[in-house]
């Protein structure tokens, strides 16, 4: 009987010198498309049999499962939006009306890190888990992790987020070794584990990876760059793709930094940057169909260099929590359609989440972009900022209030100068008017296990 439990893929170690983890990553577009359409037909047949949620949704839209045979046919179907998923979860806990596999087949659950309300719970069958490992392994491999490497786990291990267990399992699957401390283990413990085990790679959120490096001299009595780390694999928040933040990480650690992107509903990660560092490739086209939605026109637009929009995902081969035309809320820009690494998947940069985007007098402003400008002004600032969105929703006709921490070495009598400097930079770089308040260093919490919430809903009490 071939029922041996395997944590590591049998041929993992033999892949160390391959050009990519899987050959599909380098397959010609036409071949990929044919494979996707074949798997799409199979997924539709699966949903027709097993998903009352999509049976209802398709019926309401007047579309038959058998009519969906090409990627373009997907445009006949409505989107699946997050509020719908939340309602479905509330109506039939724990995995919602959209669960499409028997409970007895489910072996794992994950939770999104949702910044508002309850997280979104996702169920995985054994084949679903294996698919997640495979997608993440392709990302880690593109990012520069190799079988046999050790990687310090600097995402949160607890709270059920995909940065925890799925990262560990995927590293194991690809033949790498996870150093399982986790951001929630604390900076001190992480740095000591790093100094003891000397892993080649670190996986974590960009702002936290910077924070770790900044703490190294105090805790270990040495610079982060002396610890022998060669690769920084970052994700979970924008930053890895923002030049000033990437340069800071690379300088502090003396290591190369590559980004990845995913989202709990579809998998831990399925976009990843290669050595060229020029945007994240789609590496899982045989498991996910991507469409690009222009939020202004409401049209699906082609993937071509310069195209911008919200990413729409349809899972292929997914059993327990399938998604069809899921609106991810990730706002991306296509940076290229070919690459020196040989991968054929479009290269993107995630500019921000459409949920986080603020509209200031008609201009789209992403909090991560403001963070990047403030980071550029280190050491005048210490790189830490908060936005005060003291208005309803995401739109204001007023001036946007931004609070910035003064640089540790700077004196308070320079605050007026610093305020005007930041306001000018923000106006020039992002085309909106800010009202900046300068505060002392360490006013706000440092980046830790949780994602940094850049936006406050009311002006805080300041010392």
Residues contributing to the site for Zn ion (CB under 5 A):
274, 276, 339, 341, 343
Q: Which is nearer to Zn ion, 289 or 339 (CB)?
A: 339
CB 352 within 8 A of CB 392: no
Q: Which is nearer to Zn ion, 151 or 274 (CB)?
A: 274
Return the closest-CA partner of residue 124 out of 174, 160, 171.
Answer: 160
> CB of 272: closest distance to Zn ion in angstroms?
9
Q: Please, what sign has the CA dihedral across residues 231, 236, 240, 245?
A: negative
**Count of other CB atoms within 10 angstroms of residue 30:** 8
Q: Which is nearer to Zn ion, 26 or 451 (CB)?
A: 26
**Rounded Cα–Cα distance for residues 301 and 293 (Å):** 6
Q: Which is nearer to Zn ion, 102 or 342 (CB)?
A: 342
| CA torsion, ordered 187, 190, 196, 202, to nearest 10 deg | -120
> CB of 20: closest distance to Zn ion in angstroms?
9
Cα atoms in the Cβ-side hemisphere of radius 13 Å centred on 107: 8
**Count of other CB atoms within 10 angstroms of residue 226:** 14
> CB of 283: closest distance to Zn ion in angstroms?
10
Bridge partner residues of 383 (DSSP): none
> CB of 138: closest distance to Zn ion in angstroms?
12
**Rounded Cα–Cα distance for residues 425 and 256 (Å):** 28
> CB of 341: closest distance to Zn ion in angstroms?
3
Q: Which is nearer to Zn ion, 137 or 312 (CB)?
A: 137
> CB of 262: closest distance to Zn ion in angstroms?
18
Q: Which is nearer to Zn ion, 246 or 406 (CB)?
A: 246
Chain centre to alpha carbon of residue 147: 23
As to burial, measured by CB atoms within 10 angstroms (0-12 exposed, 13-18 middle, 19+ buried), residue 308 is middle
> CB of 286: closest distance to Zn ion in angstroms?
18
Q: Which is nearer to Zn ion, 339 or 402 (CB)?
A: 339
Return the closest-CA partner of residue 173 out of 265, 267, 109.
Answer: 267
């Amino acid at each position: 009987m071939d029922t041996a439990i395997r944590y590591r893929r049998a041929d993992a170690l033999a892949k160390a010198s391959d050009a990519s983890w899987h050959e599909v990553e380098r397959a010609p577009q036409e071949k990929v498309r044919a494979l996707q359409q074949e798997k799409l037909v199979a997924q539709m047949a699966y949903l027709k049999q097993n998903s009352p949620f999509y049976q209802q949704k398709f019926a309401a839209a007047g579309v038959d499962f058998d009519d969906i045979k090409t990627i373009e046919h997907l445009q006949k179907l409505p989107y699946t939006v997050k509020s719908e998923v939340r309602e479905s979860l509330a109506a039939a806990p724990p995995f919602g009306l959209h669960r499409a596999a028997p409970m007895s087949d489910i072996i794992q659950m994950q939770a999104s890190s949702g910044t508002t309300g309850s997280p979104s719970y996702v169920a995985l069958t054994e084949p679903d888990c294996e698919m997640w490992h495979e997608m993440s392994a392709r990302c880690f491999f593109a990012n520069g992790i190799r079988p046999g490497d050790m990687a310090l786990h600097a995402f949160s291990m607890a709270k059920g987020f995909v940065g925890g267990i799925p990262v560990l399992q995927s590293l194991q699957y690809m033949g790498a070794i996870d150093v399982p401390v986790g951001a929630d283990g604390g900076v001190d413990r992480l740095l000591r584990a790093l100094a003891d085990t000397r892993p080649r790679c670190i996986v974590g959120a960009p702002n936290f990876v910077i924070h770790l490096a900044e703490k190294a001299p105090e805790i270990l009595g040495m610079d982060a760059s002396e610890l022998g780390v060669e690769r920084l694999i970052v994700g979970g928040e924008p930053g890895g793709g923002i030049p000033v933040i990437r340069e800071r990480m690379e300088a502090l650690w003396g290591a190369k930094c590559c980004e990845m992107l995913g989202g709990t509903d579809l998998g831990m990660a399925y976009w990843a940057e290669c050595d060229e560092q020029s945007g994240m490739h789609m590496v899982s086209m045989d498991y996910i169909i991507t469409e690009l939605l222009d939020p202004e026109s409401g049209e699906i637009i082609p993937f071509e260099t310069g195209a911008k929009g919200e990413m729409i995902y349809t899972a292929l081969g997914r059993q327990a929590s399938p998604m069809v035309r899921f609106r991810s809320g990730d706002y991306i820009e296509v940076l290229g359609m070919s690459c020196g690494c040989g991968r054929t998947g479009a290269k993107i940069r995630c500019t921000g989440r459409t949920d986080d985007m603020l509209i200031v007098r008609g201009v789209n402003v992403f909090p991560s972009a403001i963070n990047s400008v403030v980071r550029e002004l280190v050491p005048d600032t210490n790189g830490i900022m908060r936005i005060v969105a003291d208005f309803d929703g995401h739109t204001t006709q007023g001036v946007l209030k931004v609070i910035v921490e003064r640089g540790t070495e700077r004196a308070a009598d320079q605050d007026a100068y610093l305020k005007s400097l930041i306001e000018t930079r923000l106006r020039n770089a992002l085309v909106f008017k800010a009202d900046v308040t300068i505060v002392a260093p360490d006013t706000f919490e440092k980046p830790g296990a949780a994602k940094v919430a850049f936006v406050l809903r009311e002006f805080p009490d300041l010392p």
